[in-house]
Structure 1
Amino acid sequence: MCRTLAAFPNTCLERAKEFKTRLGIFLHKSDLGSNTGSIGKFEWSSKHGKEKNFSEDVLGWRESFDLLLSSKNGVAAFHAFLKTEFSEENLEFWLACEEFKKIRSATKLASRAHRIFEEFICSEAPKEVNIDHETRELTRMNLQAATATCFDTAQGKTHTLMEKDSYPRFLKSPAYRDLAAQASAASAPPSSCSLAEPSHT
């Protein structure tokens, strides 16, 4: 968004306001369940807690898949897109694994591991992810002595699948391209935000 708002023309402020509105609508479409945790909130923040403006965040999503995943709003927007393709379970599983790794209690680790397995991994799971039979069986064996790394192989497979398949389609989607165009306009210098000045000859 424009840095010194009062100093910029109305056209620039209007574009920035429209951009924020469009992004809010886009993220609102993501009807997130309780299992996806904090990504349901529309909050502008960076991974390290430093201020990061709207346009920088949105434009950064196309630089790399991991940069997208490090943005709360990027995750929410990507989740909204995946819901349109009926493949949101891959991202939800990846996020569940990230939260799982933070558990320090061995008892909680084991019980949560089984819940994740039943929800995402086992055959006929309600949100079964697209992994091969070998990975599924390896994960099943890992649960016999659950550790923070027991889902690493399955999580890696879903990450690769999303990065090579869903992520490129997300970047090409009309919704993201519209957001990126708005972000570019909002972050442009004052001269490009305003209408062109008539030339004096």
Structure 2
Amino acid sequence: MCRTLAAFPTTCLERAKEFKTRLGIFLHKSELGSDTGSVGKFEWSSKHIKEGRNFSEDVLGWKESFDLLLSSKNGVAAFHAFLKTEFSEENLEFWLACEEFKKLRSATKLASRAHKIFEEFIRSEAPKEVNIDHETRELTRMNLQAATATCFDVAQGKTRTLMEKDSYPRFLKSPAYRDLVAQASAASASLASSSHAEPLHT
């Protein structure tokens, strides 16, 4: 396995550069607002080039399950960029906001943040209103009276299910993602062959 960037085969570096270009299709001008978490833009660095195999596995893993996609920062960024092309990014932004919300430990911060999330995503005619039923909206409103880390669980769960059944399959079928998978597969094969082809040192 290549230990330094200088020792990396030229083909590996070329593949890595292609990765950057392909991922750029998804991530061009894709940036989550500061209020919905700190996902931000995907930033390419030599670290990703040196960890080309891990990145290939990351990209290929996104099609294995929705959980793997959501557990990958690169996957979330790519999925968010895709959702923006469909004007449906509010569902993912709400899910991310809920994930950050559940990490809060201060009761005061929980109450304040809960109302902010409700106003942004849940209430009728909210700026980024998510697609949930009236009963779930009212249940969430009631939960805000005594905000806890679980007060958005039902709404978050329904939003996640909607994304998994609706947006996620379209993401996997999108030309940009399929192209990225082809690049990941090729790069993975290239890295594997270069690893086996390394000369023995005596």
TM-score band, normalised by shorter chain: 0.7 to 0.9
Assess, with a 3 A threshold, how the Cα gap between structure 1 residues 129 and 196 changes in structure 2: closer, same or farther: same
Assess, with a 3 A threshold, how the Cα gap between structure 1 residues 50 and 96 changes in structure 2: closer, same or farther: farther
Deviations 1:153-198, CA, capped at 9 Å, x for gaps: 0000000000000000000001111111111111004687899999
Assess, with a 3 A threshold, how the Cα gap between structure 1 residues 2 and 53 changes in structure 2: closer, same or farther: farther
Assess, with a 3 A threshold, how the Cα gap between structure 1 residues 112 and 196 changes in structure 2: closer, same or farther: closer
C-alpha distance in structure 1 between counterparts of 2:37 and 2:184, whole Å: 27
C-alpha distance in structure 2 between counterparts of 1:118 and 1:12, whole Å: 48
TM-score in terms of structure 1 length = 0.84
Q: Would you say the 8 A contact 2:111–2:147 is kept in 1?
A: yes
Q: Would you say the 8 A contact 1:27–1:42 is kept in 2?
A: yes
Assess, with a 3 A threshold, how the Cα gap between structure 1 residues 161 and 119 changes in structure 2: closer, same or farther: same
Number of residue pairs matched by the alignment: 201
Q: Would you say the 8 A contact 1:11–1:195 is kept in 2?
A: no
Q: Would you say the 8 A contact 1:45–1:72 is kept in 2?
A: no
C-alpha distance in structure 2 between counterparts of 1:88 and 1:117, whole Å: 16
Q: Provide the secondary structure at the position in 1 that maps to 2:50.
A: coil
Deviates more, 1:43-52 or 1:30-39: 43-52
Assess, with a 3 A threshold, how the Cα gap between structure 1 residues 194 and 17 changes in structure 2: closer, same or farther: farther
Deviations 1:113-164, CA, capped at 9 Å, x for gaps: 1111111000000000000000001001111111100000000000000000
Assess, with a 3 A threshold, how the Cα gap between structure 1 residues 79 and 32 changes in structure 2: closer, same or farther: same
Structure 2: segments with no counterpart, 5+ residues:
none
Deviates more, 1:102-111 or 1:17-26: 17-26
Assess, with a 3 A threshold, how the Cα gap between structure 1 residues 6 and 122 changes in structure 2: closer, same or farther: same
- Residue number in structure 1 paired with 2:50: 50
Structure 1: segments with no counterpart, 5+ residues:
none
Q: Kindly state the Cα deviation for residue 12 of structure 1 after the two structures are TM-superposed.
A: 4.4
Assess, with a 3 A threshold, how the Cα gap between structure 1 residues 60 and 43 changes in structure 2: closer, same or farther: farther
C-alpha distance in structure 2 between counterparts of 1:50 and 1:11, whole Å: 13
Deviates more, 1:167-176 or 1:14-23: 14-23
Assess, with a 3 A threshold, how the Cα gap between structure 1 residues 46 and 32 changes in structure 2: closer, same or farther: farther
Aligned-residue CA RMSD (Å): 5.1
Deviates more, 1:137-146 or 1:8-17: 8-17
